[in-house]
Amino acid sequence: MEQIYRGKVTDAGRVVIPAELRRALGLREGEDVLFTRDRESIRITPLRQAIGRAQDFFASLAPAEVVMSEELLRERRDEAGDE
């Protein structure tokens, strides 16, 4: 269920995220966040969460039997051997 929270924008453009939302997202002081804007709203996403989603997405593209870090190391060794 969608919940609505009220806040204010200060003259410096700062907005305080309500404590309940910070706790729910696990946001800590000084943590980086991303802002996504559509025509009518702004979504705030913790940077660590966005990175995790990107990692999961790219991991899903590789075959399950391939460990990409090992594949990269093998390619680097092959390239070094060619030099």
The pTM score is: 0.64
Q: What is the overall mean pLDDT for the chain?
A: 89
Q: Is residue 68 part of a domain?
A: yes
Measured distance CA(31)–CA(77) in Å, rounded: 38
Q: Is residue 22 part of a domain?
A: no
Domain extent for 52: 32-82
Q: Is residue 10 part of a domain?
A: no
Neighbours of 34 (CB within 10 A): 12
pLDDT 10s digits, 47-69: 999 999 998 898 888 777 777 78
Based on the structure, what is the number of domains in the chain?
1
Q: Which two tokens stand for residue 4?
A: 């609505």
